[in-house]
Chain A
Amino acid sequence: MQNAKTQTGISRSMLHELLVRAERLSASPFVTKSVYSIALAFFLLIVIAPAIAGILAQLFSLPDLKLSSEVVARMQSAIVWSFLIGLSVSSLDVLAGIPFAWLIVRRREHWTTILDSLADIPFVIPTVALGFSILEFWSTPSGIGMIFGADKVVSPGMLLIMLLHFAFSFPVIVRVMVGEFLNYRETFEVAARTLGASGFTAVRTITLPILRPGILAGFLLALARSLSETGATIVVAGAFENGTVFINNARGAGLTTAIVIASLLLIICSLLVFALTKILAPRIRIAPLRVWPNFEKRLSGRSSIEARNAISLGIFFVFVLLPCLFIALPAIMAMADGTVNEAIAGVGPWAGFWSSMLLSYVLALLATTINVAFGLPVAVLIARNRFGQKATKIIDALVDLPIIVPSLALGVSLSFFWSRLGALPEFWVLVLAHTTITYSYFVRAMTASVQGIAPELEETARTLGAHPLRVFRKITLPLTKYSLLSGAILVFTRSVDETGATSAVSKVMKTAPVLLVDWIRGNVAVTPGERALGIGFLVATSFVALVVLRLIALRQSRRK
């Protein structure tokens, strides 16, 4: 006992000594520059290069770029549809997500806290399972059609894709907006109210315009998800083609040229749309000084608020939560019969299930650790313009790349890149692939958070004699802890549920979602109950992990 105590004492003082040395090292501008440079090199070489090098390499290895006019026409319309769907779904997300996030933040009650966690569920469902869930909910006799006695309510096709994209991008907006509302100082709104504005007017003319950067960030994230999502979209597309479905169909038909060109076009158009939105959005002013007092006063009334909340909740449950969880509902039955025992025993189809689960979580843990370690300096670098305005703008734009590239194309590119490098074991290829896939989420969250800290805090700490590492450790980090955790949560859940790109990269090793794809597609003979239970396990474990992490985050933020 005594011994153990002195040992921890020694290791603590050693750690302290190490920290002091590291801090002293960080005093040299050369060392800090090096840290930033290494993180940047990691970003460019390990994250960005593999994401596009594969596509580019294939582009140059093509014998010619000829496509039949029929294929070109299909490709054009598919890409146009991608953007039409993406832009309209993201706009709907913003419209529906803001009142929902508002409800969560401004009504601090137990049930809204639970609602907050429920909104994360679509994050933790593997995308392919999500696709099937939506399909079964809207387009089969056992789905919502049962209520109306119809075979289906919505046929596979454009509208179903929109429903799907709405379901998985709605939580993105909610997550972003909850964070924004939590950080927002109400004084502005209070000032507006005391000047005679109704609650609705105050929010519309003051709060939302102030939070515009956050809304824009959420909109772009949702748009990126919609533009690049492949795994679930192909399930619900029917005969309809958007960009990613076209790429998938082209792969089936062996049209390599079409895949490469469509992927590149989609990436370039996305980057253009992103840049354009970032430039144009700050200039749009939606009649900020036009007020309709009576109408808006009525909207601010108690009954209007209740009606709005009811509609928000209704939209969330009918269009997001239920359709997403539908595929897991038979799991309740499976809990009652013997399936659950077989599952726990690892019999039959369950033989590889638990090792896949383990692989998924180990991957997620590693990807998260790597991204936190290498993403932090890049986030600070962007937030504080460390490498000058111009370079920062370019780096900032590149950060979005991994979420813009269609996930299937990303997977193809990654597997091409890493297989060329040869000797790397499959496990590490998977780790690096997941690092790329999830990179943007962490850096985006942290950049916004660091930008939110007044630079004077860091500057004052420096003039008080603190070396850069100490400033970061004692000032920046504690103040951004909540965002760091939520960024890490995003990375972790994305890694656990990612399907499209992972299936393109994996050869022998199967993550849980990739294994479940085999089950859903019927490649492995399983009953609907087993299938539902498998998905249920993944969703439940991720959800528990999520709640635990959120509780830790909450306690951390309360302690101070």
Chain B
Amino acid sequence: MPSISFMNVTKRFDKLLALDRLTFDVESGEYVCVLGPTGSGKTTLLRLIAGLLNPDDGTIFFDGRSVNTLEAHDRNAVYVPQQYALFPHLTVLENVAFGPLARNKSEVEAREIASKTLETVKLSWRAQALPGELSGGMQQRVALARGLASGADLLLLDEPLGALDARLRLELRHKLRELVKQSGMTAIHVTHDRDEAMSVADRIMILRAGRILDYGTPSRAYTKPAGIFVANLIGGASFLEGTVDAVTPDFSLIRMRGGLQIRGPSELFASDEPIILGIRREQVRILADKFEAENILEGEIREVRFLGSTREYVIRLTNGDRIVSRRFLEGKNPAFATGQRIYVSFKKRDVMTFAYPSQGLRKELEMV
């Protein structure tokens, strides 16, 4: 199974810079999710690896060898596009057998491989059907089977679950990872669903406007996101503006609007520097009465959202800033009502701090 390396790969479409000097590695057998908003360059990235596009600049390596001049059919990298591209005039079996046949297996062998692969995705009983006769979920499985059976060692999945309904999407994503891992293939999975990316990826790559903002394990990207955009994209948070008042070895004092003061981690910020604080929803506690703890702020519940196992509260602080808290429905967590005056608190080590973005907070959070 190959590893993939990008070295300063750039791709332009006329004047539009789709990918800007991308450099990264994917290990052999790894399952990487590429996450990013529409137009961030995700599909372009896949098509470059597949050999359907050529980079304008830079080099793509498989196992350390440049593949820039290698044609798509010689790359052993199978591309599964968004709408699956099942060949409408071929049966399910013929679709799956297409790859082995194309790679010069005999017809008997190809059929055998195809039948076996259809078994693993539990679709043997539909082998003679035409793609148009299948449901969306079945089509997805056929597309996957076709990729697995092709003998390729690199699987490029473009929004593989995007066309399915939400419940099926949840069900299939782990099955997808399991099948890919069983086959030992290296997989690149493009999606704009962050939960999907978090739950199946070995590593997540965050793309925005053709650049890599973050690349690492899901838990690292969640706890130590590289920037406001990444923090917002993965997990979401309340973002508040502040200024550093003082930095001590243990903590930093941060002044917020309206004179509110809180403590954050002592990071590499200088006094008087404007910064952005990010606080994850689940780190914000709510209490009806004032109590002793770090960072206690007064506020009023403005909105309650019921989410099943959790409730989400939108709280307006006394200085007008908004903060969101998510609480599990347990006995000791009482429910609060809209309009109720409460206190929120969060630990200083849970405060994420970011440099103030040059183009302003709102622009930085835009999903483009």
Binding site for B on A (CB under 8 A): 20, 27, 29, 454, 456-457, 459-468, 470, 474-475, 478-479, 560
Contact = CB atoms under 8 A, between A and B. Distances in A.
B168 interface: no
B98 A463 contact: no
B72 A462 contact: yes
Given A457-B87, A462-B51, A470-B102, 11 more contacts: A27-B73, A460-B80, A461-B102, A462-B72, A463-B78, A464-B73, A464-B99, A464-B102, A464-B152, A465-B73, A467-B73
Interface-centre pick from A457, A464, A478 (highest chain B CB count, 10 A) = A464
Contact of A466 (B79, B85, B98, B147): B98
B8 interface: no
B133 interface: no
Given A20-B104, A27-B71, A463 B89 contact: no
Interface in B3-55: 47, 50-52
Contact of A460 (B71, B81, B89, B103): B81
Contacts of A462: 51-52, 71-73
Contact of A29 (B47, B52, B71, B152): B71
Contacts of B78: 460, 463-465
B342 interface: no
B156 interface: yes
Contacts of B83: 454, 456
Given A456-B81, A456-B83, A463 B88 contact: no
B89 A456 contact: no
B74 A461 contact: no
Contacts of A457: 85, 87
Nearest to B103: A465
Contact of A464 (B89, B98, B104): B98
Contacts of A465: 73-74, 76, 78, 99, 102-103, 150-152
Nearest to B78: A463
Contacts of A474: 87, 98
13 contacts: A27-B71, A29-B71, A460-B85, A461-B87, A462-B52, A463-B51, A463-B72, A464-B98, A464-B150, A466-B102, A468-B73, A470-B102, A474-B98
B87 A463 contact: no
Nearest to A464: B99
Nearest to A474: B98
B206 interface: no
B317 interface: no
Interface-centre pick from A20, A461, A462 (highest chain B CB count, 10 A) = A462
B327 interface: no
Interface-centre pick from A457, A465, A475 (highest chain B CB count, 10 A) = A465
Nearest to A477: B89
Contacts of B116: none
A459 B158 CA distance: 13
A13 B213 CA distance: 55
A468 B74 CA distance: 11
B77 interface: yes
A378 to B, nearest CB: 22
A66 to B, nearest CB: 50
A459 B102 contact: no
A478 B75 CA distance: 25
A479 B103 CA distance: 22
Nearest to B69: A29
Contact of B77 (A27, A454, A463, A560): A463
A467 B151 CA distance: 15
When A and B form their complex, which 8 residue pairs have the shortest distance between CB atoms, in order from nearest? A466-B102, A463-B79, A464-B99, A456-B85, A462-B72, A460-B85, A456-B81, A465-B102
Contact of B73 (A466, A475, A479): A466
B79 A459 contact: yes
B19 to A, nearest CB: 18
Contact of A467 (B79, B89, B102, B152): B102
B203 interface: no
B185 to A, nearest CB: 13
A456 B76 CA distance: 17
Contacts of A470: 102
B146 interface: yes
A470 B87 CA distance: 14
Contacts of B146: 464
Contacts of B99: 464-465
Contacts of A461: 87, 98, 102
Contacts of B147: 464
B151 A463 contact: no
Nearest to B143: A460
Contacts of B102: 461, 464-467, 470
A560 B130 CA distance: 9
Nearest to B154: A463
Interface-centre pick from B73, B77, B150, B156 (highest chain A CB count, 10 A) = B73
